[in-house]
């Protein structure tokens, strides 16, 4: 091996080991946006909390389909954020907070190495936390937990630990433990050191919360019952062995837990330190052939998201690539594995919402936005050395179905173009059969809100309005030619095909499906993703 190659590999290994790439998952309103903003505050990327909101204001002014996010208070578009902290490079990928977009969440989670699950202390596990967590579980993702909003009255933290374990089967291992009840939150015991860290509020939480290390004797005098109760609870945690355990954390069975308040910044530093100290750095990745592809191989990465028209003034198409190995240099020519064709990376950028900066170098764990990457699709691999293919990102099983027709037939061309683009982005799946053709395809989605995004974007970006009408179908299974032939003869079942040639059998009820399965156990009726 030449010295230059060895030095290159050392650089890649060093850069990869200082990266942490993760996503935050939470039920809407649990505090994901606030926490993201406070991470930026603690990293020094912004001087005062509040800047992200100003930033998102600018962003929405430039991108009109994000209007919908603002009106609905939900995040539809995922973005990638990079900042430095304690000599590390942190990549924080945003996930949509609503369960209807859990397929997008799944794609983002394919590109991260860990997740932070944020819970509202007053509410515990909520419906959408559950759905999003299931996505983490299906990927065996290491998850850190943050119990947020401790500044407000809420539930007993011990009870919340039980709830997490009972409802999602993840065993919390608290790293920090609250001193003071929710609503009268004073600080945390750091179980790694046994020390008490007392916080002080700052005006509107705009700057970092001052911290004071207080030894146990003084804590007992100054905090009285609040301290005694916390110390007893910590003893209990020690007794039941709820301690940080790296192997079970990395395999997604236990979850290091932190308590705090994103609003007042209490506990935010501990959580961010936890991401650096406990969450894994990028490591060798599994290929489609189930081999491990080491990080010090030449550049490789995969597309986990495609998004067109994020910025109305550019009207371009952006492919988000997670780097899996090697050193990415803007301008390098790589190979597009699916087509075998060379691909130029001249227009590479970092992406925050629709804001972009040119990116010249990237390492494992980083996210690169490739502009006008028309040929790239979700799941595609790019590589610079010997050929590698990363696993495809599976589509979710659709749960809602709707027939789409252009309202204005004279705009049929625009309707078709929009349909193709939005399907490629994975906004939803478009199913067709001989009967529907392109005039009345069936749209299949995980949640109804995907239809709203589809209709909104079709109108705003492609100038075509759509009429959506209900179908009798409620469940779909993937099928093959032989089973499809049998099923076509059965009334109430419809066989349709997606763009990639996958055949779906649509049923009016799960009971009907189950009966057919029982009567014909050899038929091919597969679930798509066991999420």
Residue 205 CB, shortest distance to ligand G4P, in Å, is 8
Q: Decide: 18 and 87 in contact? Cβ < 8 Å.
A: yes
CA torsion 25-27-29-31 (nearest 10°) is -30
Query: What is the Cα–Cα distance from 291 to 184, expressed in whole angstroms?
Result: 52
The correct pick among 255, 261, 324, 325 for binding ligand G4P (CB under 6 A) is 261
The correct pick among 8, 13, 18, 28 for binding ligand G4P (CB under 6 A) is 28
Q: Which two tokens stand for residue 41?
A: 């505050």
Ranges within 425-484 binding ligand G4P (CB under 6 A): none
In the stretch 143-182, what mask flags binding to ligand G4P with x, by CB under 6 A? -----xx-xx------------------------------
Residue 478 CB, shortest distance to ligand G4P, in Å, is 34
The correct pick among 179, 262, 442, 496 for binding ligand G4P (CB under 6 A) is 262
Residue 510 CB, shortest distance to ligand G4P, in Å, is 32
The correct pick among 21, 22, 23, 31 for binding ligand G4P (CB under 6 A) is 31
Which residue is listed with tokens 């983490």? 136
**Sign of the dihedral through C-alpha 454, 457, 459, 461:** negative
Query: What is the Cα–Cα distance from 428 to 446, expressed in whole angstroms?
Result: 8
Residue 397 CB, shortest distance to ligand G4P, in Å, is 26
Query: What is the Cα–Cα distance from 62 to 78, expressed in whole angstroms?
Result: 16
Stretch that binds ligand G4P, among 27-35, 129-137, 287-295, 510-518 (CB under 6 A): 27-35
For ligand G4P, the closer of residues 27 and 336 by Cβ is 27
Stretch that binds ligand G4P, among 131-139, 181-189, 259-267, 523-531 (CB under 6 A): 259-267
For ligand G4P, the closer of residues 139 and 152 by Cβ is 152
The reply on whether position 26 binds ligand G4P by CB under 6 A is: yes
Residue 186 CB, shortest distance to ligand G4P, in Å, is 15
The reply on whether position 50 binds ligand G4P by CB under 6 A is: no
Neighbouring CB atoms inside 10 A of 128's CB total 21
- Using alpha carbons only, how large is the chain's radius of gyration in Å? 25
The reply on whether position 33 binds ligand G4P by CB under 6 A is: yes
Stretch that binds ligand G4P, among 21-29, 194-202, 229-237, 297-305 (CB under 6 A): 21-29
Residue 74 CB, shortest distance to ligand G4P, in Å, is 8
The correct pick among 30, 428, 449, 513 for binding ligand G4P (CB under 6 A) is 30
Which residue is listed with tokens 């060798």? 284
Query: What is the Cα–Cα distance from 386 to 388, expressed in whole angstroms?
Result: 6
302 phi-psi bin (left φ>0, alpha ψ -120 to 50, beta other):
beta
Stretch that binds ligand G4P, among 25-33, 100-108, 159-167, 209-217 (CB under 6 A): 25-33
Q: Where are the beta strands (DSSP E) in 283-332?
A: 285-286, 292-293, 300-308, 317-325, 328-329
For ligand G4P, the closer of residues 29 and 433 by Cβ is 29
**Of the candidates 110, 171, 116, 173, the residue with the CA atom closest to the CA atom of residue 140:** 110
Which residue is listed with tokens 């050929």? 387
Q: Decide: 267 and 150 in contact? Cβ < 8 Å.
A: yes
Residue 102 CB, shortest distance to ligand G4P, in Å, is 15
For ligand G4P, the closer of residues 153 and 331 by Cβ is 153
Q: Which two tokens stand for residue 75?
A: 């995040």
DSSP category for residue 446: S
Stretch that binds ligand G4P, among 22-30, 233-241, 287-295, 509-517 (CB under 6 A): 22-30
For ligand G4P, the closer of residues 120 and 380 by Cβ is 120
Instruction: Tell me the sheet residues that pair with 196.
Output: 189, 214
The correct pick among 97, 154, 274, 441 for binding ligand G4P (CB under 6 A) is 97
CA angle 475, 480, 484 (to 5 degrees): 70
DSSP category for residue 279: S
Residue 24 CB, shortest distance to ligand G4P, in Å, is 8
Residue 246 CB, shortest distance to ligand G4P, in Å, is 28
Q: Decide: 328 and 369 in contact? Cβ < 8 Å.
A: no
Query: What is the Cα–Cα distance from 342 to 361, expressed in whole angstroms?
Result: 19
DSSP category for residue 112: -
Stretch that binds ligand G4P, among 29-37, 103-111, 190-198, 304-312 (CB under 6 A): 29-37
For ligand G4P, the closer of residues 27 and 317 by Cβ is 27
For ligand G4P, the closer of residues 145 and 148 by Cβ is 148
3-state secondary structure of 198: strand
Query: What is the Cα–Cα distance from 20 to 365, expressed in whole angstroms?
Result: 7
For ligand G4P, the closer of residues 25 and 231 by Cβ is 25
The reply on whether position 29 binds ligand G4P by CB under 6 A is: yes
The correct pick among 170, 189, 237, 263 for binding ligand G4P (CB under 6 A) is 263
Stretch that binds ligand G4P, among 28-36, 211-219, 340-348, 515-523 (CB under 6 A): 28-36
Query: What is the Cα–Cα distance from 439 to 24, expressed in whole angstroms?
Result: 40
**Of the candidates 140, 141, 148, the residue with the CA atom closest to the CA atom of residue 21:** 141
CA torsion 61-21-296-328 (nearest 10°) is 10
The correct pick among 9, 21, 34, 79 for binding ligand G4P (CB under 6 A) is 34
Size of site (CB under 6 A) for ligand G4P? 16
Phi, psi of 282 (to 5 degrees): -55, 140
Residue 120 CB, shortest distance to ligand G4P, in Å, is 8
Residues at the site binding ligand G4P, with contacts judged by CB under 6 A: 26, 28-34, 97, 148-149, 151-152, 261-263
């Amino acid at each position: 091996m030449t010295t230059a190659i060895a030095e290159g590999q050392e650089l890649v290994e060093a850069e990869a080991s200082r990266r942490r790439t993760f996503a935050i998952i939470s039920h809407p309103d649990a505090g994901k946006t606030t926490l993201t903003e406070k991470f930026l505050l603690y990293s020094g990327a912004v001087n005062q909390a509040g800047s992200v909101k100003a930033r998102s204001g600018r962003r929405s002014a430039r991108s009109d389909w994000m209007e919908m996010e603002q009106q609905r208070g939900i995040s539809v578009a995922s973005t990638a954020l990079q900042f430095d902290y304690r000599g590390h490079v942190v990549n924080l990928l945003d996930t949509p907070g609503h369960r209807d977009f859990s397929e997008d969440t799944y794609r983002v989670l394919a590109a991260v190495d860990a997740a932070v699950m944020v819970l509202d202390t007053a509410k515990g596990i909520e419906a959408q936390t559950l759905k999003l967590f299931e996505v983490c579980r299906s990927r065996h993702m290491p998850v850190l937990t943050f119990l947020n909003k401790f500044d407000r009255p809420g539930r007993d933290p011990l009870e919340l630990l039980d709830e997490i374990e009972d409802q999602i089967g993840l065993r919390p291992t608290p790293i920090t433990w609250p001193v003071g009840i929710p609503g009268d939150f004073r600080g945390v015991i750091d179980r790694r050191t046994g020390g008490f860290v007392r916080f002080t509020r700052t005006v509107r939480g705009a700057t970092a919360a001052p911290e004071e290390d207080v030894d146990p004797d003084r804590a007992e005098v100054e905090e009285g019952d609040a301290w005694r109760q916390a110390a007893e609870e910590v003893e209990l945690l020690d007794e039941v062995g709820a301690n940080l355990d790296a192997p079970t954390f990395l395999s997604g069975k236990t979850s290091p837990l932190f308590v705090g308040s994103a609003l007042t910044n209490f506990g935010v530093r501990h959580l961010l330190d936890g991401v650096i100290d406990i969450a894994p750095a990028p490591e060798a990745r599994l290929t489609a052939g189930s081999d491990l592809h080491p990080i010090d191989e030449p550049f490789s990465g995969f597309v986990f998201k495609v998004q067109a028209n994020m910025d109305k003034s550019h009207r371009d198409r952006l492919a988000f690539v997670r780097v899996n190995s090697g050193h990415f240099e803007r301008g390098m020519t790589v190979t597009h594995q699916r087509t075998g064709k060379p691909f130029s990376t001249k227009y590479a950028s970092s992406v925050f919402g629709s804001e972009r900066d040119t990116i010249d170098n990237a390492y494992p764990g980083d996210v690169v936005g490739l502009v006008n990457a028309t040929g790239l699709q979700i799941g595609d691999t790019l590589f610079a050395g010997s050929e590698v293919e990363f696993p495809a990102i599976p589509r979710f099983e659709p749960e809602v179905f709707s027939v789409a027709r252009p309202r204005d037939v004279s705009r049929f061309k625009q309707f078709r173009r929009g349909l193709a683009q939005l399907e490629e982005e994975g906004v939803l799946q478009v199913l067709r059969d001989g009967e529907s053709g392109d005039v009345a395809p069936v749209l299949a989605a995980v949640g109804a809100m995907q239809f709203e995004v589809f209709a909104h974007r079709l109108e705003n970006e492609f100038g075509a309005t759509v009429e959506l009408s209900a179908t009798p179908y409620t469940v779909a299974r993937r099928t093959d030619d032989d089973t499809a032939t049998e099923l076509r003869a059965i009334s109430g079942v419809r066989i349709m095909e997606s763009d990639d040639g996958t055949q779906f059998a649509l049923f009016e009820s799960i009971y009907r499906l189950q009966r057919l399965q029982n009567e014909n156990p050899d038929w091919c009726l597969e679930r798509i993703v066991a999420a």
